[in-house]
Amino acid sequence: MTDDTKSWLEQNTFHHSDFWDLRKLVEEKERKGLTISLCIPTLNEEKTIGKEVLILRSELMERYGLVDEFAVIDSGSDDRTREVASAYGADVYLAADILPDMGNKRGKGENLWKAIYQLKGDVICYVDADISNIHPRFVYGLVAPLIRCDEVKYVKAFYDRPLNYSSGLRPSGGGRVTEILIRPLFSLFYPELTNVIQPLSGEYAARREVLERIPFPIGYGVETAHLLDLYQEYGIEAFAQTDLDRRVHRNQTTNALGKMSFGILQTFLNRLRSHGRIDQLPDMETIYRQFEVEEGHYRQLTHKVVEEERPPMIEVEAYLARRKLSKQS
């Protein structure tokens, strides 16, 4: 570990308990004139969304006033996600109704991108909708470094601290896709980014001024793209990360993780090219192929996975008009 890496880990890695005093945090937020928007992207999350909205709204808006705006942006759920979220007090938007002239695309990244247009905050915090052990720390642990540290632009969550066992230290690591795909790729091409403990975590907060200037893959590659694009522009010093202890959510199947990895890899390779780390790429397939077996017979399954990207929001005329900005701003 280099001295620079050690210094970054010591200075830019936090634990949510560092920010337990929410009253002081709110005072600092107000002193700096910051506003905070919370966004939960959803698709068929009626089982967990009500609890998330109830806890986060009651604690962080009504009790402490840390969050100024709380929105659910839905991809078109066919269950009661939108009704439940609205009943518990969230502002609920259908992604298809935001920037309708630009069309509607399905994917988490689409919702995150449209949140930049729809929401008003100087800081936007994104939290996934499937967390069964939701707690206010999933928000204040991420926005606090942005409130306290002016130089920090983007804060990632990580979970499950290393545990001591009699046989030694057991590192918790990231998810399966992180450890099998992302960490090896970062180790090869972006070694500084290996210090981000869980690069694919779905919880993060960032300043509007950086979110509006980067493109958004609409699908699986959005978190990877954020890290690579912001690292390219600002370096590792722009990032911070917060230990949120534990996150309980549903696990995806190996087949689903394969599709996810395929999409992320498209995004990663395209970033290598756009960042000038490789000269060119061959034409890449967009069909992901898997196999299943039934009674000794093998059948190939194919999935079309295209990591289409939305442009930086700062290039969208409707956004400039809404924010009363110009392209030269």
The tens digit of pLDDT for each residue in 209-239 reads 999 999 999 989 999 999 999 999 999 999 9
Q: What is the mean pLDDT of residues 278-287?
A: 87
pLDDT for 172? 54
| pLDDT given for residue 326 in this prediction | 62
The single-letter code of the amino acid at 124 is I
CA distance 261 to 48: 26
Residues 82, 45: Cα–Cα separation, whole Å? 9
Q: What average pLDDT does the segment 85-92 reach?
A: 97
Q: Judging by DSSP bridges, how do beta strands 123-126 and 204-207 pair with one another?
A: antiparallel
- Phi, psi (deg, nearest 5) at residue 155: -125, 125
What amino acid is encoded at 117 in this protein?
Y
Q: What pLDDT is stored for residue 4 in this prediction?
A: 66
CB distance 322 to 311 below 8 Å = no
* Residue 254 in this model has a pLDDT that exceeds 90: no
Q: Specify if 256 maps to a domain.
A: no
Tell me the sheet residues that pair with 71: 39, 91
Residue type, 27: E
Of 59-63, 271-275, 305-309, give the lowest mean pLDDT range. 305-309
- CB-based contacts of 277-283 (< 8 A; 24+ apart in sequence): 277/189
d(CA 91, CA 124) in angstroms, rounded, equals 15
- From the list 2, 320, 318, 50, the residue with the least C-alpha distance to 191 is 2
Residue 307 lies in a domain: no
Q: If DSSP codes are grouped into helix, strand and coil, which group holds residue 91?
A: strand
Q: Is residue 195 part of a domain?
A: yes
At 60-72, the pLDDT tens digits run 999 999 999 999 9
Collapsing DSSP states into helix, strand and coil, what is residue 288? strand
Share of the chain above pLDDT 70, in %: 93
306: in domain: no
Question: What is the domain-level CATH number for residue 169?
Answer: 3.90.550.10
C-alpha dihedral over 63, 209, 118, 37, to 10 degrees?
-10
Domain presence at residue 109:
yes
- Does residue 202 form part of some domain? yes
How many Cβ atoms from other residues are within 10 Å of residue 30's Cβ? 13
- pLDDT score, position 165: 43
Query: What whole-number distance in Å separates Cα of residue 129 and Cα of residue 247?
Result: 12
**What pLDDT is attached to residue 170?**
44
83 neighbors 51 (Cβ within 8 angstroms): no
Q: What is the domain range of residue 133?
A: 3-173+190-251
- Report if residue 138 sits inside a domain: yes
Is residue 268 one of the residues assigned to a domain? no
Distance CA(146)–CA(156), nearest Å, equals 11
* Number of domains, the chain: 1
Tell which residue, 177, 285, 242, 142, has the closest CA to residue 186: 177
* Structure tokens that stand for 209 in this block: 């001024």
Residues in contact with 191: Cβ distance below 8 Å, sequence separation at least 6, in sequence order: none
Question: Residue 161: its pLDDT value, please?
Answer: 47
Range with the lowest mean pLDDT among 19-23, 133-137, 230-234, 284-288?
Answer: 284-288
Q: State the angle between helix axes of 254-274 and 222-234 in degrees (0 to 180), rounded to the nearest 10.
A: 30
